[in-house]
Structure 1
């Protein structure tokens, strides 16, 4: 519950001023998909391309955030919800600062992704569904997590014994089962150009 004595303090520099200073708009690219689908890998490469084009960027990654800001959270449904809530609010600050922000989080629940979207204006939240089926992700298993699930060392793992709710109408669908990282990056960057976001 919001403390009644807390008031928002307006500044004299707003998002539009920061856009003008940076020479580009700010938006949030929200990468969602199963563990091993390629979210983080693609986000890293997209950020590299954008940086090379003079775009001010910052990347938020699920594992990295849990090293600091969200290190107190578990993987229970309640804590996963709080994890996404915090990341959404942090992303909102970055976008307000005029920074094109990339967030790579499994974010398995539609309700949580809808909450993050609700924090942003039109075209400021770009949902990118990084599609790869469970078997493809198991075969890749870049962090050895699926192997641990198979051994019974991890419970409540998304896509195995905890649901992943597929986005119904994401702005972008990247199919990493049949498409290279390079093509996926090109697809995302082209979307940003086509929509005059960069």
Structure 2
């Protein structure tokens, strides 16, 4: 989609660096990607609480929540899934500009869409976290009953069943929710952020 010629960008009187200085921490995106039921939202929200306790301003963007509002007009076709990720990426970029740490929990099944997200946000402020979990375990958990419906044909184009999930080729970090506890995973992510001097 081309950009209208009569739209002109206005620079803010307060910069991203100003907001980071006020917040006393950096801002970036933690992009959690993985199958439905892999534990993305659980990890993101547990980590968010820990960051909050450390006085680090953060916000969780969750796939289901976003589709209840901002992206309620989108279907689950490949084209609409890409548009879903594009919009989330733009929103994430705004949060980062506001000096906020963003935790996104989206299946985001396609590599090209996650690469697009990284370009929109900027590679330096984008950390891709692959939430690895065998589909058998995800189906076993099936917290929303989605796999069961998908197997019955009630949910078309369901990722992992009749729509592919493309695993990250070189994610910044991989967590294994079928092997590690939530607390262990959160601690490992915090260690990563501390090592990178982001918190």
Q: Same fold (TM over 0.5)?
A: yes
Q: Which segment is superposed worse, 106-115 or 183-192?
A: 183-192
Corresponding residue for residue 119 of structure 1: 120
Partner of 1:74: 75
Distance 2:103 2:143 in 1: 21
Question: Is the contact made by 2:89 and 2:121 (CA closer than 8 Å) also made in structure 1?
Answer: no
Cα deviations across residues 77-134 of structure 1 (Å, max 9, x unaligned)? 1110100000000000000000001000000000000001012334310000000011
1:193 maps to what in 2?
A: 194
Counterpart position of 2:20: 19
Question: Shift in Å at residue 32 of structure 1?
Answer: 0.1
Q: Which runs of 5+ in 1 are unaligned?
A: none
Superposition map of 1:74-153 within 5 A: 74-153=75-154
Report which stretch shifted further, 148-157 or 38-47: 148-157
How big is each residue's C-alpha offset from its partner over 1:37-72, in whole Å with a ceiling of 9 and x where there is no partner? 000000000000000000001110000000100000
CA distance in 1, matches of 2:153, 2:27: 42
Task: Report the Cα distance in structure 2 between the residues aligned to 1:189 and 1:195, rounded to whole angstroms.
Answer: 10
The gaps in structure 2 that reach 5 residues or longer are none
Instruction: Work out whether 1:49 is the aligned partner of 2:66.
Output: no
Per the TM alignment, residue 171 of structure 1 is displaced from its structure 2 partner at its CA by 0.7
- Give the match for residue 163 of structure 2: 162
Moved more, 137-146 or 114-123: 114-123
RMSD, matched Cα: 0.8
Shift of 1:150: 1.6
Length, aligned pairs only: 198
Provide the rounded CA distance (Å) in 2 between the counterparts of 1:113 and 1:152. 27
Question: What's the offset of the Cα at 1:35?
Answer: 0.2
TM-fit CA distance, 1:12: 1.8
* Superposed structure 1 runs of 4+ greater than 3 Å apart: none
